[in-house]
Amino acid sequence: MEQNHDNSSSLPPKDPPKEENINTNHTTHSPVLESADKPDGETEKATDSEQVLEKQEFKAEEEKEKKEEEKEQEQQKELEETVETQPESPAPSLEKISEEIDQFLLTSQKNVDAKESTSLEIPNFIPAFLHLVEHKIEKYDTGETKWGQTIEDDSSLLECANRISRLMNHFIEYSRSHTQQEQEVEEKEMELSGLDFMINDISVIQQRVMSFLEDEFRTLMEEFRNPNKPDSKGKQQVADSLESEPPEETIPEFPGFAEETIANLNKIAKEMIASGYENECCHVYSLSRRHAFEDGMYKLLGYEKFSTDEVQRMQWEALEREIPTWINTWKECTSVWFPAERKLVDMVFGDETRTVLSLMGNIYRAIVIQLLNFGESIAMTKRAGEKLFKLLDMYETLRDAIAIMESLFPDEIMGEIKAETTSAKCRLGEAAVLIFCDLENSIKSETGRTPVAGGAVHPLTRYIMNYLRLACEYKDTLEEVFKEHSKIERADSTSRPRHESEESRAKSENKQKEDVSPFAAQLMRVMELLDSNLEGKAKLYKEVALSCIFMMNNGRYIVQKIKGSAEIYEVMGETWCRKRSTELRTYHKNYQVETWSKILSCLSPKGLSDHGKVQKPVLKERFKGFNAAFEEIHKTQSMWVVSDEQLQSELRVSISALVIPAYRSFLGRFSQYLDPGRQTEKYIKYQAEDIETYIDDLFDGNPHTRR
C-alpha cells in the first residue's frame, strides 16, 4: 500500500487540474479516506458509479412523472375534444345523446328493480350532454333563443330538464345506497369521489335550467294577466261604473290567461316540481296570483285596502261609501273569482293534489283575511244607531260567503278560512246586537221637559218607529244574531223600568214563559219603554184633553207603522195591536169628556123650566155659555195637531155626532122663547150647520177666526 502510494506520488501529473480534483476529492469525500484497504483507482471508480446511479434513478423518476402527466393531459384533451365537438354538432346529436341518456337510465332502473349490484358507470356522453344543455340555456339567457318562439326548442329544454332531474336522482340514490355500506376498498372510495363531482356538475346545470324556468314562469304569470280593462281612472269612477253597469259587463273574464299560456305554465310547473323545485314554483305562482287579485279588486271592483288604524280614523260617511264596494267584492270573489282561480290552479299544476290544495289555501286565505280585516275594523268603530243596517248587510255578506266557500273549498282549506270568517261575522253580529240594544238607552235618555206643540207626534216616536221598521226588514238576520249573542250582557237592559205597571210586569213574565225569540223579547222591551216615556211626556201638558190628543197621535202613529210592516207585525202580534187600539179608544173618550162635557151641559134642558115655564134669563146664560165655550174650543183646538187624516176625521165626526144633534135639538126646542130680532141675534150666533163647519177647522194646526 505504501509502495503504491509512493509510486503514484512520484509520477509526473498528466493534467494539473486533475490533481486539484483529486485533492478536492480527498478533502471532501470521507469514503475515500476511510477505504484504506482499496487502491486509489478503485475508490474513484466506486464514487463515480454511485453518482451515476443516483442520476439515473432521478432521471427515471422524472421521466415517469412526465409520462403520467402527459397521459393525464392526453386524457383531458380527449375529453375536452369530445365535449367541444358535441355542441357544434347538429340537433340530431343532442337527440342521439338524449336517447343514450334514456337508455342508460332505463338500464340502471332495471338493475335497481332486479336488485343487481352494479359498479358505478359514468359514460362519456353524460358530460357531453351537460355541456349541450348549458350551451342551450346560454342561448336563452342571451336572447338568441326566446321562450315561446318555437315549440320545439321549448319542449327540448323541458325534456333536458327532465333528464337532468332523473340523472340527479339516479346518482344521488346510488351514492346514498353505497355510502351506507362499508367502503374499505380504495377503488370504491375513488369511485364515490368521482360520483360526487358528477353530482355537483349536474346540480350546477340543473340550477341554471331551473332558474331560467322560474324566471320564465314568473314572466308568463305576469305578462298574460288579462288587460281587458284600461288603467284605473280613479276609484270613484270605478265605483260609479259599478252602479251603472251590470257585473257581467264590468268584470272581465277571470283570471284571463290564454290556453297556450296555461299549457306552458303547466309544462314548466311539472318539470320544476319533478326536479325538486316545487317551493320556488309555488312561491312565484302564489305571489303573482295574490298581486293579481289585489290589482283586480282595486282596478276592476274599486276596493281599496285600509288598515285598522285608517278605518278607525275615517268618518262614518266615508266608511259608509266603502261598505257597498266591500260587499260587491265579496260577492264577485266567491261567485266568480275564487271558482275561476281554482280552475286555473288545477290546470297549471295538474294532478299535484297536495300542491293544488296548498296553493289554493295560501291564495284564498290571503285574500279572505284582507277582506275580513276591513269587516272587523268596522265592527270595532264607535257604536251608533245609523250603523246598524250597514253592519247587518256585512253580516249577511259573510254568512252567505261561508255557505258558498264551503261548497267550493275542500275541508283541508275551508277549516281555517271558515273559522276566520265566522269570527269576523260574529264580531259584526255582536256589534249589531249592541247597537239595537242601545235603543233602550236612547229612549231612557230622552228626558226633555218641553211638550210638543199641539200634541203632535213626538220626534222620539218617529225615530224609534222608523228605526224599528227599517231594522225589521232584517228580521230574520236579527233573529239570527240575537240567538248567537243572547248571552251578551247589556248595560241597563236586563232590569225592568221602575215605572212599569203591574199589568205590564205580568205580561213580561208571561212572555218569558213562552217560547219568544231573543229579538222579539228585545223589541217588546223597546216598545214598553217607549210607551212609558210617552206617558210621562203626556203629563207635561196642562190640558188633559191635549194630553189625550198627544197619546192618540203617538199611539195611532205606532199602530200604523206596525201594521204597515209585516215584519214588525209578525213579531208584535195581533193581540198587541188590538190592545193598543183599545187604548186609543179610551184616550178618545177621555178627550170627549174633557173637552165637550161643558158644551153638552149648556145644551141640557135641566134647570131651564120652573113648574113647566122656561126661564129666559137662564136660557140666555145657557146660550151665552155655549157660545163662549165653543169659541174657546175652536180657537184653541184648531191649533192642535192631528196629522193622521183618519184619526183627524174620526175625531171630527165623533165631535159632530156628539154636539150637533144636541145643539140642533136645543135650538129647535128653546129658540122660540127668545124675542125675534135683536135678542135672537145676540144669543143664537150659530146655526147647526155653522157648528159643523167650525168643527172641521179643529186639529189642523192653524189658528182660525170666526167666519
Residue pointed to by grid coordinates 212609558: 532
pLDDT of 594 strictly over 80:
yes
Q: Following CA atoms 79, 80, 83, 89 in sequence, which dihedral angle do they give, to the nearest 10 degrees?
A: -120
Query: Can you give the pLDDT at residue 486?
Result: 77
Specify the DSSP element, H or E, that contains 343: helix 338-349
Name the pairing type of β-strands 613-614 and 609-610: antiparallel
Q: Determine the Cα–Cα distance for residues 338 and 296; give it in Å rounded to an integer.
A: 13
Report how far apart the first and last C-alpha atoms of the chain are (Å, whole number). Answer: 186
Helix (H) or strand (E) holding 663: helix 645-670
Q: How far apart are CA 316 and CA 397, in angstroms?
A: 20
Cα four-point dihedral sign 640, 643, 645, 650: negative
List Cα–Cα distances, 350 to 24, 268, 273, 347, 415, in angstroms.
92, 12, 11, 5, 23
Q: Return the SS3 of 506.
A: helix
Residue 521 CB neighbours (<10 A): 17
Quick: pLDDT tens for 192-226.
Answer: 556 677 777 777 878 888 888 898 899 898 875 54
Q: pLDDT at residue 629 above 70?
A: yes
Average pLDDT over residues 277-303: 91
Complete DSSP assignment for 398-466? HHHHHHHHHHHS-HHHHHHHHHHHHHHHHHHHHHHHHHHHHHHHHHHH----SPPGGG---HHHHHHHH
CA 424 – CA 453 distance, rounded (Å): 47
Listing DSSP states for 577-607 in one string gives HHHHHHHHHHHHHHHHHHHHHHHHHHT--TT
Nearest to 368 by CA among 321, 408, 332, 330: 330
Q: Are 524 and 511 in contact (CB under 8 A)?
A: yes
Under the banding of pLDDT at 50, 70 and 90, the label for residue 400 is very high
Highest mean pLDDT among 153-162, 218-227, 489-498: 153-162
Please, which contacts does 302-310 make with residues 24 or more away whose CB atoms are closer than 8 Å? 302/235, 302/238, 302/239, 302/242, 303/328, 303/329, 304/235, 305/370, 305/374, 306/374, 306/377, 307/373, 307/377, 308/373, 308/376, 308/377, 308/380
pLDDT value at residue 149:
75
How far apart CA 536 and CA 489 sit, in angstroms, is: 28
Sign of the Cα torsion 539, 545, 550, 556 reads positive
Mean of the per-residue pLDDT values for the chain?
78
Taking the C-alpha atoms of residue 554 and residue 562, their distance in angstroms, rounded to an integer, is 12
Average pLDDT over residues 454-477: 94
pLDDT average, residue stretch 235-253: 44
> 284 is written with which cell numbers?
312565484
Q: Which helix (H) or strand (E) holds 610?
A: strand 609-610
Query: DSSP letter string over 180-228?
Result: TS---SHHHHHHHHHHHHHHHHHHHHHHHHHHHHHHHHHHHHHHTS---
Tens digit of pLDDT for each residue in 308-362?
999 999 999 999 999 999 999 999 999 999 999 989 999 999 877 888 888 888 8
**275 Cβ contact partners less than 8 Å away, ≥ 6 residues apart:** 161, 162, 164, 165, 168, 206, 209, 210
pLDDT at 9 over 50: no
Q: Cα–Cα distance between 430 and 419 in angstroms, integer?
A: 16
Q: What is the rounded CA–CA span in Å between residue 502 and residue 52?
A: 139
Lowest mean pLDDT among 55-69, 469-483, 505-519: 505-519
Give the integer Cα–Cα distance in Å for 642 and 655: 14
Does residue 548 surpass a pLDDT of 70? yes
Give the pLDDT confidence score for residue 250 in this predicted structure: 41
Comparing 385 with 225, which gets the higher pLDDT?
385
How many Å is the Cα radius of gyration of the chain?
A: 54
Q: Is residue 30 over pLDDT 70?
A: no
Contact by Cβ (8 Å): 255, 226: yes
Which is it for the CA torsion 686, 688, 693, 696, positive or negative?
A: positive
pLDDT-derived band at 487, boundaries 50, 70, 90: low
Q: Which of 86-95, 97-106, 526-535, 630-639 has the lowest mean pLDDT?
A: 86-95
User: What are 458's three cell numbers?
Assistant: 213626538
| Confidence check: pLDDT of 701 > 60 | yes
At position 303, the amino acid (one-letter code) is: Y
Write out pLDDT tens, residues 80-95.
Answer: 555 455 444 444 477 7
User: Could you give the CA distance from residue 293 to residue 226 in angstroms, rounded to a whole number?
Assistant: 12
pLDDT at 505: 52
pLDDT of residue 132: 78
How many C-beta atoms lie closer than 10 Å to residue 232's C-beta? 13
Confidence of residue 53 (pLDDT cuts 50, 70, 90): low
Report which of residues 121 and 618 the model is more confident about: 618
| pLDDT given at position 84 | 52
H helix or E strand, kind and range, residue 613: strand 613-614
Greater model confidence, 509 or 629: 629
Reply yes or no on whether the pLDDT at 559 is more than 90.
Answer: yes
CA distances in angstroms from 32 to 19, 22, 578, listed in the order given = 15, 10, 150
Q: What's the pLDDT at 542? A: 93
Residue 4 grid coordinates: 503504491
Q: What proportions of the chain, in percent to the nearest 5, are helix, strand and coil?
A: 75, 0, 20
- Is residue 4 scored above 50 in pLDDT? no
75 pLDDT above the threshold of 60: no
Nearest to 464 by CA among 499, 486, 436, 493: 436
pLDDT of residue 5: 40
Q: Cα separation of 40 and 526, whole Å? A: 141
The pLDDT value given to residue 675: 74
| pLDDT value for 425 | 95
> What's the pLDDT at 158?
84
Percent over 90 (pLDDT), the chain: 40
Strand partners for 610: 613
Check residue 633 and give its pLDDT: 93
Which amino acid type is present at position 477? T
Shortest CA distance to 652 belongs to which of 606, 600, 692?
692
More confident residue, 411 or 636: 636
**Which contiguous run of DSSP H or E holds residue 614?**
strand 613-614
* pTM, to two decimals: 0.69
Question: 300 or 199: whose pLDDT is higher?
Answer: 300
Region of poorest pLDDT, from 145-159, 359-373, 616-630: 145-159
